[in-house]
């Protein structure tokens, strides 16, 4: 058992192979450098990326693999050059922990698009050649540039999903000016990303329509998340009734689905933003050309925008819907995530269950 657990200053749960099964694992975190922050992890959100890389779906997983990139905790130490944070601060860490800091995108605080590629929070190669390990762990050491201040009073368990799910939809909504009150937004899919898109849309003053394949999500979409309309996407009559009525669509669905029916719902000049990862995107040219419509993609966001998003959520009392779990439940939680059996984000209580 000792050999399986390993040795080191950081306790975590890791996958050892493509089965993706996680179990306790120890390893060494680096020492705190001059620009670093050491963060005692309190909570970590569970993202579908955790399924993808623990099970080597992209063929690039480096085991033992410690997932988790929606990290929230408390500062326990700071390097000598750190000015923006102090011991005791509540901070978050998102999907990346380093970048070149020299390219045009880093200069514009769009580090997620770094020309040399951002260093992912887990299963990435850091500047010292080590493999990054994520938030299913007791603590993490990160350069201060990639840390975010959690606003005072904001619940830490609910802050965790903002570091990936939240910024993934907030970023393209701001880029495409989806913060104009009175405009109409369609949201495809009502999972971790979709429910955040609905909440942001309502906070921006948009009229929000949720598209889902599941009638069971109607009550929560309308009553809990306060969407204005709910449509079963396979119902052609419901879809036809919304022709040319939407200014924007956020598509969070990762399963394969047709695009032309949704494009027909956009007004002239409307945009569909894809944040999910279906295996392909197929649509007829007429769906774009007739009406000057566009399709755009997006990932997470830069550091400046991520901090703005956190502040916006605090100011507007936007709180993700979460199911808090112990780390010992993580393998079951990942199976439930695959089956979309979560409303709407698992969050691991690291502080009270990792021991």
Strands of the sheet with 246-251, listed across from one edge: 229-232, 207-212, 184-188, 246-251, 266-274, 294-297
Burial class, 164, CB count within 10 angstroms (exposed 0-12 / middle 13-18 / buried 19+): buried
| Domain boundaries for CATH 3.40.50.720 within the chain | 166-297
pLDDT tens digits, residue range 54-92?
999 999 999 999 999 999 999 999 999 999 999 999 999
Assigned token pair, 99: 């970048």
Asked if residue 150 has pLDDT above 90, the reply is: yes
pTM: 0.94
CA angle (54, 158, 94) in 5-degree steps: 50
Tell me if 346 sits within 8 A of 46, measured CB to CB: yes
pLDDT tens digits, residue range 257-286?
999 999 999 999 999 999 999 899 999 999
Find the mean pLDDT for residues 116-121. Answer: 96
CATH topology of domain 10-164+320-349: Quinone Oxidoreductase; Chain A, domain 1 (3.90.180)
- List the CATH code of the domain at 166-297: 3.40.50.720
| Domain boundaries for CATH 3.90.180.10 within the chain | 10-164+320-349
Find the mean pLDDT for residues 18-38. Answer: 96
Find the mean pLDDT for residues 196-201. Answer: 98
305 CB contacts (<8 Å, ≥6 apart)?
109, 167, 170, 171, 174
Q: Rounded mean pLDDT of the chain?
A: 95
Per-residue model confidence (pLDDT) at position 2: 42
């Amino acid at each position: 058992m000792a050999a399986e657990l390993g040795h080191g200053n950081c306790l975590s749960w890791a996958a050892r192979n493509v089965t993706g099964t996680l179990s306790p694992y120890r390893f060494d975190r680096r020492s705190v450098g001059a620009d670093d922050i050491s963060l005692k992890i309190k909570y970590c959100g569970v993202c579908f990326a955790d399924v993808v890389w623990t099970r080597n779906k992209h063929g690039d997983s480096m085991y033992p693999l410690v997932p988790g990139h929606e990290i929230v905790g408390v500062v326990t130490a700071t390097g000598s050059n750190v000015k923006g944070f102090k011991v005791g601060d509540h901070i978050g860490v998102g999907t990346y922990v380093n970048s070149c800091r020299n390219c045009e995108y880093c200069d514009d605080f769009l580090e997620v698009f770094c020309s040399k590629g951002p260093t992912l929070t887990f299963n990435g190669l850091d500047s010292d050649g080590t493999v990054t390990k994520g938030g299913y762990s007791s603590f993490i050491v990160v350069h201060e540039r990639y840390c975010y201040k959690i606003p005072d009073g904001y619940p830490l368990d609910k802050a965790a999903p903002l570091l990936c799910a939240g910024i993934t939809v907030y970023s393209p909504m701001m880029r495409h000016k989806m913060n104009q009150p009175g405009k109409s937004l369609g949201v495809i899919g009502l999972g971790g990303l979709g429910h955040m898109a609905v909440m942001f849309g309502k906070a921006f003053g948009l009229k929000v329509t949720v598209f889902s394949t599941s009638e069971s999500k109607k009550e929560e979409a309308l009553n809990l998340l306060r969407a204005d309309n709910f449509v079963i996407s396979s119902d052609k009559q419901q879809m036809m009734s919304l022709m040319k009525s939407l200014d924007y669509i956020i598509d969070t669905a990762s399963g394969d689905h047709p695009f032309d029916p949704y494009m027909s719902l956009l007004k002239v000049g409307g945009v569909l933003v894809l944040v999910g990862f279906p295996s392909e995107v197929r649509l007829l040219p007429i769906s774009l050309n007739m009406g000057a419509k566009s399709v755009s993609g997006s990932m997470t966001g830069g550091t400046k925008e991520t901090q703005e998003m956190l502040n916006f959520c605090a100011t507007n009392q936007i709180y993700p819907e979460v199911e808090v779990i112990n780390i010992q439940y993580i393998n079951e939680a990942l199976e439930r995530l695959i089956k979309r059996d979560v409303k709407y984000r698992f969050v691991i209580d690291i502080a009270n269950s990792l021991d």
